[in-house]
Structure 1
């Protein structure tokens, strides 16, 4: 059974961890990859640690350094699961190479499919909702755009380690173990495996069961569910649900998030939208602008109404990113950090009972602005929406929901509201 999950963003950490919470494990998400001490929430056989390296959008070598630090600080937490984005964004090749070199594990199996979120792989390529990855919005991601649908191509951008593929037909004819043995004999270090359904994932795990303690398993949150049986005696969940208003911080520019917001306001008149202009966050969020937005949002919450704060209303906003970068002499990463910092400062000045954060960069920035050092996952509303409590030296007595920008059905916010 895995003991350590290394993820490259906050929402991804939660998406992976909640699969194990649902099976009865205790899962803590650690924000500081430099930390040498585990969070002092639980220490027993049922605990699994997730470390968020926050390395998806940073420079390649810095991502490798963070991985090395995590391995050095957690020498007894083995086996390791490397959680990656199901749309292959980030420093995937470099992080895999570093993990293999640092842990002395001979090879890695890369299985990024997440069928429950309509992210599948076949013929070595990634598809989202039936569309080849390169033809989706992830090709124009504001911070980490992908350049290919081909998983091997993306991995090989950052490593010279030999990489091969096992296709869907070989999975379904139970040739996975045989193919792995052949590749490893030839010196292959990274093996990408196709999967189109949950049954494919289950088949792969069953075939490689005897290898799990001696390989590096790399995948999205979709694969984690098949790594361990449920614990008979599940850990009781803390149920302190509140019917008070929900504050949603929708910093993601994902088209999916925008569709979800539009569906919400069309179907429930208790939701209010506050459109926060990106230009108001650049180069910094001024004190005057902060007070203006704060008063507007707080008035909505005090009136027992739900509030969605969004930074993007349409696809065209994504296309302005390069213009903003030129105007303020910032890289895409620096621009993203400015926006997230401004949103974090805004939330820090608000009073709320339920907080919904969408978009990994936004979620971690807001969480840290609130003084959080980690996150205890308690459960999930539905697939793609984990919830829990922020860990802090202060008492943060509210529930936090997280969602990756590109995840979820159109009624995801309404489902969350019904849940509380």
Structure 2
């Protein structure tokens, strides 16, 4: 019986949140089907995660999508709903929280946006990344979806009329408030205190936050079981980078400096989905395939030198809009990864960026993905059924992880 529904706005977020439940022994599945039927899942299913893919939608469409999913869950009798939000507040935060609140039938939704383990904190309603207000950080400079405000109430007010309130201390009395309650948190201990208070008050049916607070959902909901065994993982890693986040680019650069073969796409190649079906792409796949036999880490990067500026200039000359850039890049990258898997590539595939992961799952016709464990904070190992064969996929958001991540994981997997 499904006890908890998690609604995410992108695929990496769906996985890094659901894996918090899998780690406790819960049976969790991630699906792209927003019109899910609970009877389609086994009675042993504890947690269903719906990737609503609302990150890039307009506010109205995002609201309607999340409202519909929440309403469906409520009618199905699912007792707990968790709206997963981005740890740096990208996307339609206010619109989606209001949708869950209105469809969920409660007076309040508690929003705990911090992820202290990844240096995302909230103080007096202001959200920080690495101690920098979020709109002044690198996330405020994102070319696709810059975060415009650090004040969370301002983000919410820009998207909904539902009132929001800042709760600076979990001991604070919030009984007079109706709307979206934003909880400050600067440490793991803060998160635990908030969770305990919510449990004491019985206000755990509508919650929201990122993977940080999701780690406490097993305690709050009582969902647990036998912890999963980590499957055997190839010590060779194929890194497919579809992200332009500086953290991702630095990780790729570090691996290249450490000796990893590096293959990158030109603007013309990555902006032309038809190119992925041609001889040039086939030749590239052959070279990457061979390198994966010989090297413990291989980088297949959508970004070459002087990126992303070179791609933007190329796209501008040809009238290609920003949204189309993103769609074309991940379509090409997903096709290359699929071809490599079909050839039997000797490596565990590591997909960077929620858009690339989503496109790969959608393009290959995979219906359900099963999170297994975190191999690092925010780095998720999952299992999928692909053409009748179970394969492992590692994924992470573009902004997570230290520079040496790929080399460190490869060394660990070889032990």
TM over 0.5: yes
RMSD (CA atoms): 2.3
Distance in 1 of aligned mates of 2:52 and 2:144: 16
Does residue 367 in structure 1 map to residue 367 in structure 2?
no
Q: Which residue of 1 aligns with 2:246?
A: 255
Structure 1 segment 18-417 matched on structure 2, within 5 A: 18-37=19-38, 40=41, 42-44=42-44, 47-74=46-73, 75-167=76-168, 170-171=169-170, 174-175=171-172, 178=173, 180-184=174-178, 189-213=179-203, 215-229=205-219, 233-237=225-229, 239-243=231-235, 245-267=236-258, 269=259, 271-286=260-275, 287-312=278-303, 317-319=307-309, 323=313, 326-350=316-340, 351=343, 352=345, 353-392=347-386, 394-417=387-410
Give SS of 1:181's match. Answer: coil
Q: Could you tell me which runs of 5 or more consecutive residues in structure 2 were left unpaired when the two chains were aligned.
A: none
- Say if 1:191 and 1:320 are closer, same or farther in 2 by CA, change over 3 A: farther
Distance in 1 of aligned mates of 2:150 and 2:6: 25
1:399-418 deviations in Å (ceiling 9; x for gaps): 11011100112222123223
**What is the number of equivalent residue pairs in this alignment?**
402
Distance in 2 of aligned mates of 1:47 and 1:109: 22
- Say if 1:208 and 1:214 are closer, same or farther in 2 by CA, change over 3 A: closer
Shift of 1:182: 2.7
After TM superposition, the structure 1 stretch with the greater mean CA deviation from structure 2, 272-281 or 316-325, is 316-325
Distance in 1 of aligned mates of 2:64 and 2:144: 20
- Say if 1:50 and 1:181 are closer, same or farther in 2 by CA, change over 3 A: same
Q: Is the 8 A contact 1:120 1:126 kept in 2?
A: yes
Distance in 1 of aligned mates of 2:299 and 2:146: 26
Distance in 1 of aligned mates of 2:145 and 2:356: 14
Q: Is the 8 A contact 1:79 1:214 kept in 2?
A: yes
1:116-145 deviations in Å (ceiling 9; x for gaps): 101111121111111111122211223221
Q: Is the 8 A contact 2:297 2:406 kept in 1?
A: no
- Say if 1:283 and 1:261 are closer, same or farther in 2 by CA, change over 3 A: closer
Give SS of 1:32's match. Answer: coil
Distance in 2 of aligned mates of 1:57 and 1:377: 24
Q: Is the 8 A contact 1:2 1:81 kept in 2?
A: no
Q: Could you tell me which runs of 5 or more consecutive residues in structure 1 were left unpaired when the two chains were aligned.
A: none
Give SS of 2:367's match. Answer: strand
1:92-151 deviations in Å (ceiling 9; x for gaps): 111111111212221211111001101111121111111111122211223221111111
Shift of 1:83: 0.4
Distance in 2 of aligned mates of 1:38 and 1:377: 20
Q: Is the 8 A contact 1:26 1:235 kept in 2?
A: no
Q: Scaled by the length of structure 1, what TM-score is found? A: 0.88
Shift of 1:3: 0.7
1:302-330 deviations in Å (ceiling 9; x for gaps): 4355311112357x634556545533434
Distance in 1 of aligned mates of 2:406 and 2:119: 19
Shift of 1:273: 0.9
Distance in 1 of aligned mates of 2:196 and 2:215: 13
Distance in 2 of aligned mates of 1:26 and 1:355: 23
Give SS of 1:317's match. Answer: coil
Distance in 1 of aligned mates of 2:316 and 2:165: 40
1:209-239 deviations in Å (ceiling 9; x for gaps): 1345565211010001122238775244252
1:383-411 deviations in Å (ceiling 9; x for gaps): 1111021145x223321101110011222
